[in-house]
Amino acid sequence: QRAEEKEEPPEHGEFRLQMEAQRISLSQIHAAQLELLQEETDACTRSLEVKLQDLRDRSHRDEQNIFKYQSVMEAVSEEC
């Protein structure tokens, strides 16, 4: 099989090199796309984490307001 490779015309060797270069280029493009997708996913995750924390904070404030309201209602009920 090695003998056959040595006898191959120069065009075949050049074609083989071009195909290998294309394969490497496609691999690099694919890796760059994956990296970009990971960055976008990370940014989206951070954004959702911020929104979730905001909702938790708002929920905590709402709970405090409900507790204050209940306390006021109890005080009013006791006086009436």
Domain that holds residue 69: 2-79
| pLDDT mean across residues, the chain | 90
The average pLDDT across 19-42 equals: 97
Q: What is the pTM of this model?
A: 0.59
Cα separation, 67 vs 58, whole angstroms: 14
Q: What is the pLDDT of residue 8?
A: 79
Give the HSE-up count for residue 26: Cα atoms under 13 Å, Cβ half-sphere. Answer: 6
Q: What spatial distance separates the first Cα and last Cα of the chain, rounded to whole Å?
A: 104
Largest pairwise CA distance in the chain = 108
Q: Count of domains in the chain?
A: 1
Cα separation, 47 vs 54, whole angstroms: 11
Residue 1, pLDDT > 80, answer: no
| Residues written for the chain | 80
Q: Which residue has the higher pLDDT, 2 or 65?
A: 65
